[in-house]
Amino acid sequence: MSRRTLSFVCQNCGAASPRWQGKCEACGEWNTLSEEGAERAAGPRKPGKGRLFALEALAGDTQDAPRLASGIGELDRVTGGGFVRGSVLLLGGDPGIGKSTLLIQTTAALARAGHRVVYISGEEAVAQVRLRAERLGLRDAPVELASQTSVEDIIATISEGKLPKLVIIDSIQTMWTDTVESAPGTVTQVRGSAQTLIRFAKKSGACVILVGHVTKDGQIAGPRVVEHMVDAVLSFEAEGSHQFRVLRSAKNRFGPTDEIGVFEMTGDGLREVTNPSELFLSERDLGSPGTAVFAGLEGTRPLLVEIQALVAPSSLGTPRRSVVGWDSSRLSMVLAVLEAHCGVRLGGHDVYLNVAGGFRIQEPAADLAVAAALVSSLCNAPLPADGVYFGEVSLSGAVRPVAQGAARLKEAAKLGFARAVVPEATRAEANGAIQVSDVGSLTSLVADIAANGRPPARAKSGGEDG
C-alpha cells in the first residue's frame, strides 16, 4: 500500500488529516485520530468522457411516496405514516435500550402482513435472535434471518428473488465493505458500508433501517455524515430510569420531526403506550401546592419537566434561597419582580426551588413556571394537575413570548396535558389540541393562583396537613 492511500481519520467527527495529531483540528477532541486506509476509488483516475443522461421536468408522473405501515401505531406516527420505499433510516440509541426488540417486532408485524422482510444481525447469532423472537411470541412470523457482516454478501443475497420490502441492518458499526480498506467499526468503514447500503435502497426500492450505536455523549457513533446521508434519523431513548421508551425523530425527509412514540418495555417486548399522560402524571404529587410543569426545550426537542417550589416562613435574619437545576440569579430576578410588581412579599420566607429528575434548565422560558410554583406554594394553592406553563418574565412584570411555542404545546398535548398558560403572543400558535390561556403580566397570573388558595394548614406540632 503506498503512503498516499493512508490517512488519519478522527473517530469522533470523521475529519481526515494527512498526519497523526493528538488533537483533531475539526472537532477539538483529543486522541481520536487513527490510521485508516482510504477508499480505493480515491486513487488518481484518468478523466473520461461523461455519459449522457436525460434531464427531467419537475412536473411529471410520480407516485406518491408509497408507505409501508408497520401497524405499530407509535412507530408509524414517528415515521410519518410508515416506511417510505427506497428510504434509509438510522435508528440510534444506548445499548440495551430495546432497538433490536423494536425492530424484530416491526419485522414480524410486516412479515405476518405478507411482506418480504430481512433481518440481518451483525451482533447476534441467528440462535440469539430466534430466542428473542420466541420470547416475544413471534417465532411463527416469516422473517428471513441471517447473521452476516459483509455488505456485498448481504446485498447479493437479498437481491436474489423477490426484492424485500424492508431490510434491517443491526448494526451499521458491525458491517464492512470491500470498497474500503480499514477495519470494521472505523469511521471510513461505517461510512463506506452505509453508502453501499443506501445505494442499494435507492436502486431496489427496499426500505433499509440501519441501527447505530450511540456514544457516551449521545451522538450516533461514526461520522456525522451518516446522519446526513440517510433520509431519517430516529432515536430510541429511555425516559428517566423507567421502563418507558421514547422514539423521536431528529431528521425526517418524509415526515414530521416533532412527533414522539412512547413504548413500555415489558417482559414480553415493547408495548405501545397510547396514553402517556397516565405514566407521566402517575409519578407526580397531584394536587400538592408548589409544583408546576414547565414545557421546555432541550436543544430543539420539547421536554416537559416538573418544577417544585417550597416557600416557608424563615427563622433566619437573611432568608435562604436555594436552587437546584436552575440559575440562582434568575430566581432572584423572578422573586424581585414578584415583590415589586405583584405585591408578593417573600422577604420573610425561605425559598427552595428544585427541578425534578435532576434536569438542568437553561432557558429563561421557565420564568413563568417558576413564578407559578412559587406563588402556588406561598398561597397553598395547588395548580391544575393537567396544566403546563412557559414564558419569559421581564423586569417590568410583563410575560414575553418564547421560541417554539407550537412545539411545546404539541408535546404537552401529546403527553396528555389539557391546558397551557402561555404568553399572549403564543395563543396564535395553538392548534386546538390543548386549551390555551394567555397571561400578559405576572400580576394576573398571581391573582389567578391566589384566588384558588386555601389558608395554609400549618400544624403546630406533629400534626398532619389536611
Q: Is 13 in the site for ligand TYD (CB under 6 A)?
A: no
* Start-to-end CA span in the chain (Å): 80
Q: Minimum distance between the CB of residue 151 and ligand TYD, rounded to whole angstroms?
A: 20
C-alpha closest to that of 67 among 190, 192, 207, 191? 207
Say if residue 343 carries a ligand binding annotation.
Answer: no
Q: Minimum distance between the CB of residue 138 and Mg ion, rounded to whole angstroms?
A: 16
93 binds, among ligand TYD, Mg ion, none (CB under 5 to 8 A by kind): ligand TYD
Say if residue 95 carries a ligand binding annotation.
Answer: yes
One-letter amino acid identity for 390? F
Q: Is 101 in the site for ligand TYD (CB under 6 A)?
A: yes
Instruction: Give the single-character DSSP code of 317.
Output: S
In the chain, helix, strand, coil percent, each to 5? Answer: 30, 30, 40
Alpha carbon dihedral 433, 435, 439, 444, in 10-degree steps, equals: -160
Apex CA 409: angle with CA 102 and CA 353, to 5°? 95
Question: Taking CB under 5 A as the rule, which mask of x and - marks residues 71-100 in contact with Mg ion?
Answer: -----------------------------x
Q: Could you tell me how many residues of this chain bind Mg ion (CB under 5 A)?
A: 1
Residue matched to cell numbers 407509535: 74
Question: Taking CB under 6 A as the rule, which mask of x and - marks residues 246-285 in contact with ligand TYD?
Answer: -------------------x-xxx----------------
Q: Is 95 in the site for ligand TYD (CB under 6 A)?
A: yes
* Residue 343: half-sphere exposure toward Cβ, Cα within 13 Å: 6
Binding-site member from 67, 116, 132, 414 for ligand TYD (CB under 6 A): 132
Binding-site member from 135, 251, 271, 284 for ligand TYD (CB under 6 A): 135
C-alpha closest to that of 253 among 286, 231, 269? 231
Q: Minimum distance between the CB of residue 167 and Mg ion, rounded to whole angstroms?
A: 16
Preceding peptide of 171 cis, ω within 30°: yes
Binding-site member from 11, 32, 87, 100 for ligand TYD (CB under 6 A): 100
Stretch that binds ligand TYD, among 22-30, 67-75, 89-97, 376-384 (CB under 6 A): 89-97
Say if residue 97 carries a ligand binding annotation.
Answer: yes
Q: Could you tell me how many residues of this chain bind ligand TYD (CB under 6 A)?
A: 15
Apex CA 139: angle with CA 137 and CA 145, to 5°? 135
Q: Please check whether residue 369 is in contact with residue 440, taking contact to mean a CB–CB distance below 8 angstroms.
A: no
Closest to ligand TYD by CB, 219 vs 394, is 219
Say if residue 94 carries a ligand binding annotation.
Answer: yes
- Torsion sign across C-alpha atoms 47, 151, 186, 236: positive
Instruction: By CB under 6 A, name the binding residues for ligand TYD.
Output: 93, 95-101, 132, 135-136, 265, 267-269
| Contacts with Mg ion, residue ranges (CB under 5 A) | 100
